[in-house]
A and B are shown apart, each in its own frame.
Chain A
Amino acid sequence: EVQILETGGGLVKPGGSLRLSCATSGFNFNDYFMNWVRQAPGKGLEWVAQIRNKNYNYATYYAESLEGRVTISRDDSKSSVYLQVSSLRAEDTAIYYCTRAFDYWGQGVMVTVSS
């Protein structure tokens, strides 16, 4: 059974940073591109970042609205993917989802940016 679990959310002050983790199991992690998607309260979905697998040299791609403030990474030995977000703003407040190629999704983790 595919399982995806995000952790690391919480309340952060503006200007702060956060590292989200996504632990997976139940599939061959090495085979898949992994993504982060976020959803601000009451809003639609916004793609944040993607990291490809080793066959594609772990290439990374980012939403332009976050580029420069966000870094996606993965550890194939731990079947995990990470999202580092810095210089957080109120508009970064959202549920952050980790998804395997958009077919399996975690339950999401809430990030609240507020003083």
Chain B
Amino acid sequence: DIQMTQSPSSMSASLGDRVTITCQASQDIGNNLIWFQQKPGKSPRPMIYYATNLANGVPSRFSGSRSGSDYSLTISSLESEDMADYHCLQYKQYPLTFGSGTKLEIK
């Protein structure tokens, strides 16, 4: 199985900060990765498709990148509405696997 190691598990940042969350894949997944945002009591919302492509309606302060087996979700300037849990998902190989999630809090 492909393991997705997500870090950090939680973080606190100030409004306006640049925030980066990372998922490291244990095997090659190409760009077959989705980033999700999940607010309390809500369903996950896809933010980034195919590692780097912004989903429709997602603010441009969000971006996705890849460096080798490391995949990053970056928020360029944190806003209060970005407080949420973030998850990555690899869909290169079955079983599909999620990262363990990152809880992002606002200082």
Binding site for B on A (CB under 8 A): 35, 37, 44-47, 50, 61-64, 97, 99, 102-103, 105-108
Q: B101: which of A45, A62, A63, A64 is its contact (CB, 8 Å)? A: A45
Q: B89: which of A45, A61, A105 is its contact (CB, 8 Å)? A: A45
Q: Are B98 and A45 closer than 8 Å at their CB atoms?
A: yes
**How many A-B Cβ pairs are below 8 Å?**
46
Chain B 92-107: CB-based contact to A (< 8 A → 1; otherwise 0): 0011111111000000
**Docked pose: A106 CA to B45 CA in angstroms:** 11
**Docked pose: A5 CA to B91 CA in angstroms:** 23
Binding site for A on B (CB under 8 A): 1, 34, 36, 38, 43-46, 55, 85, 87, 89, 91, 94-101
Chain A to chain B contacts (Cβ below 8 Å), 11 pairs: A44-B85, A44-B87, A45-B44, A47-B89, A61-B95, A61-B96, A62-B95, A102-B46, A102-B89, A105-B43, A108-B43
Known: A45-B44, A47-B89, A103-B46. 12 other contacts (CB 8 A): A44-B99, A45-B38, A47-B95, A47-B98, A63-B95, A64-B1, A97-B44, A102-B36, A102-B91, A103-B55, A105-B43, A108-B43
Q: Are B36 and A45 closer than 8 Å at their CB atoms?
A: yes
**Docked pose: A99 CA to B34 CA in angstroms:** 14
**Docked pose: A102 CA to B55 CA in angstroms:** 12
